[in-house]
Amino acid sequence: MQKFKCDCCGLCCRHIDRSPLSKDLDSGDGVCKFLDTKKNLCKIYKNRPDFCNVEVGYKKYFSKLYTEEEYLNLNYESCRKLKLEHQKEKVSAPYLYQAAQTPSTETIQGPTACKG
């Protein structure tokens, strides 16, 4: 499978309540209970749930529903929508605002491991 190019903005971890798969990770405010909000990094990255890893999540949960390309595109589109939402809200946190400046999946670059 092609590797998902994550820029480690943390927006998916700050909106964990949007997916039924991750409901048990919600700290009560929509933010993942394992996100270090000061560093914007996952505290359990090496042992994170399978659905938090795009490639593993695809194989385990979604390979019978989507092709790899469809699944990656759905993830990129979700990422893009989260960033646009935050751009519209003019988020004051610099790392979130910078991430919101990425308007399309073609420009999503950066580290592939957002570990703490």
pLDDT per position as a tens digit, 44-74: 999 999 999 999 999 999 999 999 999 999 9
Q: Does residue 111 fall inside a structural domain?
A: no
41: its two tokens: 């990094």
| Whole-number Å distance between alpha carbons of 42 and 48 | 8
For β-strands 41-42 and 35-36, DSSP reports them as antiparallel
Type of residue found at 46: K
Q: Does residue 115 fall inside a structural domain?
A: no
Q: What is the pLDDT of residue 111?
A: 37
Q: What is the pLDDT of residue 115?
A: 56
Q: Does residue 71 fall inside a structural domain?
A: yes
Q: What is the pLDDT of residue 1?
A: 78
Q: Does residue 25 fall inside a structural domain?
A: yes
List the domain range (segments joined by +) for residue 100. 13-105
Residues of the chain with confidence (pLDDT) below 70: 90-116
Q: Does residue 78 fall inside a structural domain?
A: yes
DSSP string, 11-78: TTGGGGGG-GGGGGGB-SSSSBTTEETTTTEETTGGG--GGGSHHHHIIIIITTTS-HHHHHHHHHHH
Against a cut of 0.95, is the pTM above it? no
Q: Does residue 7 fall inside a structural domain?
A: no
Q: Does residue 88 fall inside a structural domain?
A: yes
| Whole-number Å distance between alpha carbons of 108 and 95 | 14
Q: What is the pLDDT of residue 87?
A: 84
Q: What is the pLDDT of residue 86?
A: 85
Q: What is the pLDDT of residue 94?
A: 53
Report the domain count for the chain: 1
81: its two tokens: 């929508």
Q: What is the pLDDT of residue 88?
A: 80
| Whole-number Å distance between alpha carbons of 11 and 37 | 11
Q: Does residue 3 fall inside a structural domain?
A: no
With beta carbons less than 8 A apart as the criterion, state whether 11 and 83 touch.
Answer: yes
